[in-house]
Structure 1
């Protein structure tokens, strides 16, 4: 690999029948993007060529055998498979899931081997990707196991960062999953991430309640008073600026979220519904808590518009810039901490 200070961005291409490759190709149509990073796609030259022809894209792709052969100043492509693949745009097919996983696994291995610096994942379909190798609700859980860590899904823009206490689980299981230990774990991950990934020295974190009106003193549920509120009080005693629980409707309706650096929602839609209402198409999904940096756009496979050349690449571009910034912030903090130790 050529020596360079440029960050090497690994990209999994997602479901081959969706809009993943379209938003990737559109992002790098602007050659100035190569001033910020060196991209490495994990996929197939045949699949990429199919999408390029369909979209009329003139984006040049440079094939390489492995990520350690990356050439800076080019859009690199590692062929994660060589066989022909049937592409059926807009359809949920076994092939779509199989090759989305091949791309993701190759990218994750390169990230683990440090031949790429960070990872951006294009959208997958959670149904057709299921297999013996992928038995997870989504990217977040797959990467958590792959890198042996505890993660936190954060949906973010410049103004809003929402993490999830519980992630991809049925609503019927949410209440039983919320424990003091889980709340403490997720608060700790968010606190650390706000400090190391976003350069916020004393982050303020809001925690949402579980029940409507935070249970109305037990009338609509006891979890807020018996589990969430005492846990927040306990966390405060450690010196962290953690507040709540807040009723989610009023919290977002009154724009109270603007007073905090991070927000923790109790379950998936409690956090993602207001987030996407406020910022859909410009948001980023960030996997906090792991030793590696991974982001993705805030939307799905877009089967309904696949191949029509109308997909918007804004969220993918935001994911790219967010990942680069987070990666740099982490490295700067490591350098500062290392220099502080040397002076002692």
Structure 2
């Protein structure tokens, strides 16, 4: 067995510098436990971090400016400038320049991922509105990263100590959800979830709950036929293969009775069906993990929070959890020697 002694390198794309991304990243990296486990590389600009260091009185946050990932220092917090000139930092204000920098940070991190120079990517929150343009339709990190690596299939997977929720239909308008609920897509997402639970989370025989699409899971066809015609046949097919897949469950009763505690994973049919209960329980500790990609990507489960940007009240718990989660998954797939 080849034991790796250098700490795994985790890239962090800074997201929107006018939101809380820099604040939660810096506060999370002040946790001494992380310093012993990982080598962080922040894709940002040193001037933006210096601004927040002074503005938020984070005097203990120190970093090393490096030109590229090849210069990484394993005993420091590393920062790579992703643009030549740092945009003006205006906490709480959406600017086109901040969007350009967020995209530049993400793209450089993707480039280093492709060259296998970082072991995982943690994406800080960005604003889709100031990234989108006529040339680029950006609907989310999950879709962008999946496209960047070709035709690999992926799944948005929200994870915490309390539950793990995957989505069949992600960032699409609600009126289009029903067209995305097909047997093929449910099979695809269940396959990704099963593999991820086994490989990334070390669960040998995962038990998965599948939610219904309609109120009361269709009420035996009275409130919709998708459960009978689309969802249930897929569940039966997986059961016939020996997989522990159950449902479809009515989501209100399922979460109301706290049944999520009985399962290793939950497959929701659409975005809000899965994310509302997840964030209600795990908002400050939840992690957005993209399952099915050829690399490890995690993110905090919140957004840019312009309303509290620069006020020194943003909680770093979800960002800290995202970094720890990336490390835990790395440990399960590779062999690292932890420092004393």
Query: Which category of TM-score, normalised to the shorter sequence, fits these structures?
Result: over 0.9
- Structure 2 match to 1:9: 10
> Which 5+ residue runs of structure 2 have no aligned equivalent?
336-340
Q: CA deviation at 1:88?
A: 2.1
Among 118, 121, 130, the alignment partner of 2:120 is 118
The answer to whether the Cα contact below 8 Å between 1:4 and 1:72 also exists between their aligned partners in 2 is: no
Q: CA deviation at 1:29?
A: 2.2
Among 172, 175, 179, the alignment partner of 1:176 is 179
* Superposition TM-score, scaled by structure 1 size: 0.93
After superposition, the CA RMSD in angstroms is: 1.3
- How many residues matched? 330
Matches within 5 A, 1:33-112: 33-58=34-59, 59-112=61-114
CA distance in 2, matches of 1:285, 1:327: 16
Q: CA deviation at 1:136?
A: 2.7
CA distance in 1, matches of 2:135, 2:49: 24
Q: CA deviation at 1:173?
A: 0.5
CA distance in 2, matches of 1:132, 1:10: 28
CA offsets per residue over residues 280-327 of structure 1, 9 Å max, x none?
A: 111000000011001011110010010011110011001110110011
> Which 5+ residue runs of structure 1 have no aligned equivalent?
333-344
The answer to whether the Cα contact below 8 Å between 1:154 and 1:286 also exists between their aligned partners in 2 is: yes
Q: CA deviation at 1:132?
A: 5.6
Among 298, 302, 319, the alignment partner of 1:295 is 298
Do residues 143 (structure 1) and 145 (structure 2) align?
Answer: yes
Matches within 5 A, 1:1-344: 4-58=5-59, 59-131=61-133, 134-148=136-150, 149-331=152-334
Higher RCO structure, 1 or 2 (CA under 8 Å, sep 6+): 2
CA offsets per residue over residues 47-70 of structure 1, 9 Å max, x none?
A: 211121211122111000101110
* Superposition TM-score, scaled by structure 2 size: 0.94
Mean alpha-carbon deviation: is it higher for 134-143 or for 302-311? Answer: 134-143
